[in-house]
Amino acid sequence: MAIKYLLPENGNFYKANLHAHSNLSDGRLSPAEMKAAYKERGYSVLCITDHELLINHADLNDPDFLMLTGYELSVTEPADPRGWPFTKTCHMNFYSPRQDYTKYVCFSPDHYNDHMRESLNEADIPEETYKRTYTPECITEMVRLAHEAGFLCSYNHPDWSLETDAQYLKYKGFDMMELHNHGCAVVGLDEDNAWVYDQMLRAGRRLAASATDDNHNGLPIDHPQTGSFGGYVWIKAPSLDYEDIWNALRYGDFYACTGGPEIESLTLEDGVVTLKCAPARQISMQTARRIAPSVRSTDDAPVTEFSYELTGEEEYIRFTVTGTDGHRSQTRAYFIDELGL
């Protein structure tokens, strides 16, 4: 049996932040300032997902840096009588299939303040507006309409949103979800969402996993509680071309990272899955079952490889690589039928 590369054999890894906010909505830095900060720290891709603003930032592209086009939408329940901090909401990112495609999906004029309206391009606003209601049916329909327009869709920060499994397990169609949201985590929320991801997978949802910043930069970039540079993805793609990067996201050719060891390869041969990585404290494999095979460093000798012969009963597999400092790198889930077993 030929080797199957779960992460592509060829291409390059590109470091990316897929969730960020500029001063065009409720962030503090301009898009140009954000691009400069990320590029200085080794990133190659940035998507500024301003609230309800789908803006093409191609003017910031250069040969070593790509701006993706996307925006964040919200669907919120009627106001809780106790106030906004108690009101449930669903936030999602839509990623455009082309850099210059900025036609809004599910446009709702109720979601704009005066500052945000200044950035709206009237030519991109559809003739019909969309009435959003905080129901699983509406959110699922929004994802479907986004797919019809060619977008990829991400489910964002369930803890900040106050959502429970009674709600999010009814959502259908999301392409990915935030396994980690750094901007929420640094202010004390539990936005390490591996357990939510496994709930989704065990409920039959097939989606990839990202780590993002969701940064607004209300604090200086070098502040201990900055929302920047803590959650990112490594995208494996043939080039930094927009289509190549977008297709890599579409096919799940990336993994989520919060500073953990870099994953070098992930392969399957004769039913044996093998992960190779930079030195780590532990490599573990999560499945739909209670069993989680792993290998852990001993006597201060780090681990760099883990192999496991699959039985076909796992339903899905995904990997967590933990560094000596506790930071993690995590792959998406690969379902057994996807692997041909």
Q: Any idea what the CATH number is for the domain that residue 142 is in?
A: 3.20.20.140
Question: Are residues 173 and 117 located together in one domain of the fold?
Answer: yes
Question: Are residues 88 and 31 located together in one domain of the fold?
Answer: yes
Residues 6+ apart with CB under 8 A from 25: 50, 51, 52, 53, 115, 116, 119
Structural domain includes residue 165: yes
Q: φ and ψ at 99, to 5 degrees?
A: -60, -35
Please write the tens of the pLDDT for every residue from 58-86. Answer: 999 999 999 999 999 999 999 888 988 99
Structural domain includes residue 3: no
Question: Are residues 231 and 328 located together in one domain of the fold?
Answer: no
pLDDT for position 123: 92
Average pLDDT estimate for 286-300: 90
pLDDT value at 300 more than 80: no
Average pLDDT estimate for 158-165: 96
Percent of the chain with pLDDT over 90: 94
**Global confidence as pTM:** 0.97
Structural domain includes residue 7: no
pLDDT level of residue 310 (50, 70, 90 thresholds): very high
Question: Are residues 245 and 274 located together in one domain of the fold?
Answer: no
Give how many domains the chain has, as a whole number. Answer: 2
Q: Which of 258, 273, 297 is where one domain is finished?
A: 258
Q: Which of 230, 258, 286 is where one domain is finished?
A: 258
Q: Which residue has the higher pLDDT, 255 or 341?
A: 255
Question: Are residues 109 and 208 located together in one domain of the fold?
Answer: yes
On the CB side of 144, how many CA atoms lie within 13 Å of its CA? 8
**DSSP conformation class of 128:** S
Question: Are residues 248 and 290 located together in one domain of the fold?
Answer: no
Residues 6+ apart with CB under 8 A from 26: 51, 216
Question: Are residues 154 and 192 located together in one domain of the fold?
Answer: yes
Q: Any idea what the CATH number is for the domain that residue 325 is in?
A: 2.60.40.10
Report the amino acid identity of residue 168: Y
pLDDT value at 323 more than 70: yes
Question: Are residues 303 and 176 located together in one domain of the fold?
Answer: no
pLDDT for position 163: 97
**Domain hosting residue 109, numbered range:** 12-258
pLDDT value at 1 more than 70: no
Please write the tens of the pLDDT for every residue from 28-52. Answer: 999 999 999 999 999 999 999 999 9
Alpha carbon distances (Å) from 134 to 4, 7, 87, 137, 145: 42, 36, 11, 8, 16
- Closest among 69, 95, 244, 82 to 156, alpha carbons compared: 95
Q: Please, what is the average pLDDT of the chain?
A: 96
Report the amino acid identity of residue 273: V
Question: Are residues 60 and 200 located together in one domain of the fold?
Answer: yes
pLDDT for position 341: 83
pLDDT for position 244: 98
pLDDT value at 298 more than 90: no
Question: Are residues 63 and 18 located together in one domain of the fold?
Answer: yes
Place of tokens 């994953």: 263
Average pLDDT estimate for 230-254: 98
Average pLDDT estimate for 293-301: 88
CB 212 within 8 A of CB 232: yes
